[in-house]
Amino acid sequence: MRAIVLICLLHAAHAMFQWNNPGEEQPLPETRPGGACVADPGSCGCCVMWKEMDRLTTYFNTTLNNLESQCEQTKRSLDKIEAGRDAFSVALTDHPSINCFGPFPSDRLIPYKHVFINLGEGYSVNTGVFNVTHSGVYSIALTVYSDAGAARNLLAACADLVVNGKMVAGNSEKNVHDQEDAATLVVALHLTAGDTVAVNMPAGCFLCDDVSHYNTFSGFLLYPTE
> Can you give the pLDDT at residue 48?
77
Instruction: Assess whether 207 and 154 both reside in one domain.
Output: yes
Instruction: Assess whether 94 and 169 both reside in one domain.
Output: yes
Structural contact between residues 173 and 158, judged by C-beta atoms closer than 8 angstroms: yes
- Please check whether residue 200 lies inside any domain of the structure: yes
Each residue's pLDDT, cut to its tens digit, for the chain (226 residues) gives 554 445 555 454 454 444 455 555 555 444 444 455 555 555 676 777 778 788 888 988 898 888 888 887 777 666 566 656 799 999 999 999 998 999 999 999 999 999 999 999 999 999 999 999 999 999 999 999 998 888 888 888 999 999 999 999 998 888 777 788 889 999 999 999 999 999 999 999 999 999 999 999 999 999 998 7
Instruction: Assess whether 88 and 78 both reside in one domain.
Output: no
Tell me the DSSP string of 178-225: -SEEEEEEEEEEEE-TT-EEEEEE-TT--EEE-TT--SEEEEEEEEE-
Instruction: Assess whether 56 and 168 both reside in one domain.
Output: no
> Can you give the pLDDT at residue 90?
98
C-alpha dist (Å) from residue 1 to 51, 53, 61, 124, 222: 15, 11, 19, 67, 53
C-alpha dist (Å) from residue 93 to 17, 73, 87, 116: 94, 44, 19, 11
State which residues form the domain around 92: 84-224
Rounded CA separation 46/41 (Å): 10
Rounded CA separation 167/109 (Å): 12
Structural contact between residues 111 and 200, judged by C-beta atoms closer than 8 angstroms: no
Instruction: Assess whether 108 and 139 both reside in one domain.
Output: yes
Tell me: cis bond preceding 103? Omega within 30 of 0 counts.
yes
Instruction: Assess whether 102 and 75 both reside in one domain.
Output: no
Structural contact between residues 137 and 225, judged by C-beta atoms closer than 8 angstroms: yes
Instruction: Assess whether 180 and 71 both reside in one domain.
Output: no
Instruction: Assess whether 66 and 158 both reside in one domain.
Output: no
Which of the 8 DSSP states describes residue 146? E
> Can you give the pLDDT at residue 17?
45
Q: Other CB atoms closer than 10 Å to residue 107's CB: what's the count?
A: 13
Instruction: For 142, list phi and psi in degrees, rounded to 5.
Output: -140, 125
